[in-house]
Amino acid sequence: MVGNREARCRGSLRGTGGVKVKIRQLQVPGSWEITPEQFGDARGAFLEWFKGSIFEDSVGHSLNLAQANCSVSAAGVLRGIHFADVPPGQAKYVTCVRGAVLDVVVDIRIGSPTFGTWDSVLLDDVDRRAIYLSEGLGHAFLSLEDNSTVVYLCSTGYTPGAEHGIHPLDPEVGIEWPMKTRAGEPMKFTLSDKDAAAPSLHEAVQAGMLPSYDEVKEWVGGLA
């Protein structure tokens, strides 16, 4: 499978009240990079990391907020590739408020024209970008610095029996994870026991674990 860090669509500027936000569709359909405008002075900085009107205008529907998560990770911690059964799935709007992570979205929808494709966004405390991935997509991130703090808004709550994973180092997916930390030190991956035992993409296909592209498309289309 071929991954690509280059988006096929150019970013567009959207905004209300004089605040501009750059929205860029990623290589995986159903995912976007969001770059907010920051306002800084001697006191610090201010930004709107999520704005419902801009989100809805770009994605085509509002974000149903059911749960908000916060994850703190040491350098080298690798989380994912996680996904949830559709319906209802779990859409995520993710940013990094401290440190830096490489955030990755993977197309795991059976029958999708871009099945197996991945794309990535650097989320950090400098540019303060966010990434949105809709239902039916796989999600993973690698912490590039100690105490990297990721917060994300979820469209549904945690449902253990409906949530699954694919091994983030699966060569078939072929994600190009950084080999050095933000400080330039050699990267040493740390996975949870659950993520380390996750199946490969091929094994997940054979087990019937993955969502269907048509079912996901129908479900997401019904959210508009």
Residues identified as active-site: 82, 152
Neighbouring-strand partners of residue 21: 14, 36
The span from the CA of 178 to the CA of 122, in Å, is: 11
The span from the CA of 118 to the CA of 139, in Å, is: 10
CB atoms within 10 A of CB 200: 15
Which residues are CB-contacts of 51 (< 8 A; sequence separation ≥ 6)? Answer: 16, 19, 21
Distance between first and last Cα of the chain: 31
The span from the CA of 153 to the CA of 54, in Å, is: 16
